[in-house]
Amino acid sequence: MNNIENADLLEATRLTNAGRLTEATAVLQRMLGGGHTAPDVAGDTALSAPRCAPPIIEGVAVPAGTARAEPPPQPAAAAPGAGRRPFGLRAGAMQTLHGALHGSLGQGNEAGFRLPGGRRGDLSSAEAQVPVPDGAQFLAATFANEAGSRPYKLYVPSGYHSGQPVPLVVMLHGCTQSPDDFAAGTRMNEAAEELTCLVVYPGQTASANMQKCWNWFSEGDQQRGQGEPSLIAGITCQVIRDYAVDPRRVYVAGLSAGGAAAAIMGKTYPDLFAAIGVHSGLACGAARDMQSAFAAMQGGGVTRTAGVRSEAERQILPAIVFHGDRDRTVNPCNADAVVAQSAPATALSQRAEHGRVPGGHAYSRTLSVDEAGRPVIEQWIIHGAGHAWSGGSAAGSYTDPRGPDATREMLRFFLGHPHTAPTLAT
């Protein structure tokens, strides 16, 4: 490492420890070489990138440079390719900087959101309590294939009876979270109990990513039949084989790094998933490495999508997207990219609605409607919300109980969008 890199590293660490995260991120990006162009995931068809407007705080646009942004929740020394010298920096030095970033924020890079009353939304996985009603089950299992193995938890509602096909929802947690923590925070099991749905929670491991983030920024984890997409699809198919699942009603949703992974699953396995839910996440192909991840989280770069290779991939992918306009970890303009990716080269009409949760957040909901008049994409912008699951429970981490209830809205949307031609992915 040369003297300039050493000086920049020390300065970025000092700024981070002082809470000056925007400046620290700018120094780090300068070290890593500035801007980027995101990759083609499986072809060369580029989306026209949405214009990344300044962040919105309390409904008012904030001039560039005045809003404090959190660093991204995914770069980790244990990510694929970590053994290589990353972007001209020694791996040990980069890990030291990551430690400073994590330590200054509390628990991982997604920390920083405070629950009402000032308590930080950073419960550990061990503290998460997942209630299981009589007759229901919350089972633990592991799936393995050529890409490795991952644990998962499966919620089986009390109303499930073998032979009666039910919907299946795949839930992908954010960084530093676990299946139990995510289940407790989103309360997806409670909603699934009422509607008789199976819910499976794949779990990321610390050996795959130091912060237990899904590696959405790694090219090897953005491809069908490879890496983490193959593991998540494998878990999904294992549940379909073991239980009575309606193949027309299989869905995937996630938060932050898990939201980005959900977008990847929708793009790489459109024959398996009927719709996706992306909360505070990014589009498939938004980044290809640690360097481009920093830019993508802050709203920079151009998102590219997988090349159009089949009729299925030319179809609209129904999507429901949530994002807080005070999100300082993932720029809200990434929600626009997810929406654009869900309807490539498709003209949809739009209509906007506005509301407020009693005693909670105001929100704007934009519906993208197809020629038949059916809403196929919903985009929710939560005014005043940060990087947290909207309407979640304080029993889990990174939740905002002030709503609206993303869990129930996602299930409502999912169950209204069955797959037209599902297959069991391979």
pLDDT in tens, 41-69: 333 333 333 334 333 322 233 333 333 33
Q: Among candidates 222, 312, 277, 255, which has minimal Cα distance to 38?
A: 222
Assigned domain for 348 exists: yes
pLDDT at 232 over 70: yes
* 9 occurs within a structural domain: no
pLDDT for position 160? 96
CATH code for the domain in which residue 161 is found: 3.40.50.1820
Bridge partners, 170 (sequence order): 200, 252
The backbone torsions φ and ψ at residue 363, rounded to the nearest 5 degrees and listed phi first, read -150, 160
Q: In this predicted structure, which of 81-90, 179-188, 269-278 has the lowest mean pLDDT?
A: 81-90
Residue 172 has pLDDT above 90, yes or no: yes
Mind listing the pLDDT tens digit for each residue in 300-358? 754 554 443 455 456 789 999 999 999 999 999 999 999 999 987 667 899 999 999 99
Q: What is the pLDDT of residue 62?
A: 31
Instruction: Give the residue with greater pLDDT, 129 vs 1.
Output: 129
Q: CA-CA distances (angstroms) from residue 268 to 54, 113, 244?
A: 31, 32, 24
Query: Would the pLDDT of 397 be above 90?
Result: yes
The reported pLDDT for the residue numbered 416 is 96
Mean pLDDT of 18-34: 55
- In this predicted structure, what is the pLDDT of residue 291? 86
| Interval 65-78: pLDDT, tens | 333 333 334 433 33
Does 79 reside within a domain?
Answer: no
Residues 6+ apart with CB under 8 A from 263: 216, 276, 278, 281, 282, 283, 284, 338, 341
Position 388 pLDDT exceeds 90: yes
How many structural domains are present in the chain? 1
Is 70 inside a domain boundary? Answer: no
Question: Is residue 184, in this structure, part of any structural domain at all?
Answer: yes
Between strands 56-57 and 60-61, the pairing is antiparallel
Residue 236 lies in a domain: yes
What mean pLDDT is predicted for residues 372-380?
Answer: 94
Range of the domain at 349: 133-415
Q: What pLDDT is stored for residue 311 in this prediction? A: 55
Is residue 84 in a domain?
no
* Structure-model confidence comparison of residues 163 and 46, the more confident one: 163
Q: What is the pLDDT of residue 300?
A: 74
| Closest by CA position to 335, among listed 287, 290, 375, 299 | 299
In a domain, 26, yes or no: no
